[in-house]
Amino acid sequence: MPTNPDNNTAGLVVKNMIKKFKIKDGIEIKIKKGVPAGFGMGSSAASAAATVIAFDKMYELKLDENTLVEFAGSGEKASAGSIHYDNVAASVLGGFVIVRTNPLNVIKIEPPMNLRMCVAVPKLEVPKKKTKVSRGVLPKKVSLIDSIANLSNAAAIVAGFMKKDPELIGGSIKDVIVEPARQHMIPGFAKVKENALKAGAFGVTISGAGPSVIAFSKSSADLKKISLAMSRGFASANTKCQTVICKPSKGALVIKK
């Protein structure tokens, strides 16, 4: 983990907030988290989100949600090479979020209570600045038919969250642009996805920029069966993995003062 503030999402957030609010204090950051760095699970966003919430509370700034997300997103430049808000918005606010820009506007929708996810984290060597590398393989041009497909599925995902329907959410996780461009970076991805769907998952895709894979289901499903199926998919490519069963969180919050 980088200790230079300019190369760490948490450090960059603090630098930007100190400058904006003319804070004269020196600040030490201690980071302790269970999210592996570089595996598409929002590790960099977790650091940025926790930092912005802690800073806001410590100095009693009482910033609104959009401003909190804006500062957290500024820290992503240390990880991805550019400022972006998609993952930090979810990390700050929790649940399901839609991010609009110019101007920044974050919309939060409460997820279904019974929505569950199975995440398979492969034991692989990941490149430095992995998010930036993963963005580099994306197509520069997208066909009209693929654009329409992704936009319609994105709209259906939003409808799924509005209707509190895990099956509609998972069944709409169909990415014909980013997933095909990145799947070659994940050994056994096709088999992991196939196995999870056969085991009862509603939808499967790459988590973040990868290499973790996420399957969507509901609390009444056999989540252990889905997780085991994903493990076997990675095993078919001689890759070990760790699986985690989880549900949407409430976002970043202060747990100890």
Question: What is the set of active-site residues?
Answer: 76, 131
140 CB contacts (<8 Å, ≥6 apart)? none
Structure tokens at 122: 């492969």
Q: Give the sign of the dihedral formed by CA 135, CA 141, CA 143, CA 149.
A: positive
- Nearest CA to 63 out of 43, 77, 49 is that of 49
| Integer angstrom CA distances of residue 160 from 113, 208, 235 | 13, 20, 32
CB 189, CB 183: distance < 8 Å: yes
- Whether the Cβ atoms of residue 172 and residue 161 lie closer than 8 Å to each other: no
Say how far apart CA 193 and CA 188 lie, in whole Å.
Answer: 9
- Exposure string over 115-126, b if 16+ CB within 10 A, otherwise e: bbbbbbbbebeb
Q: Is the peptide bond before 211 cis (omega within 30 degrees of 0)?
A: yes
**Length, in residues, of the chain:** 257
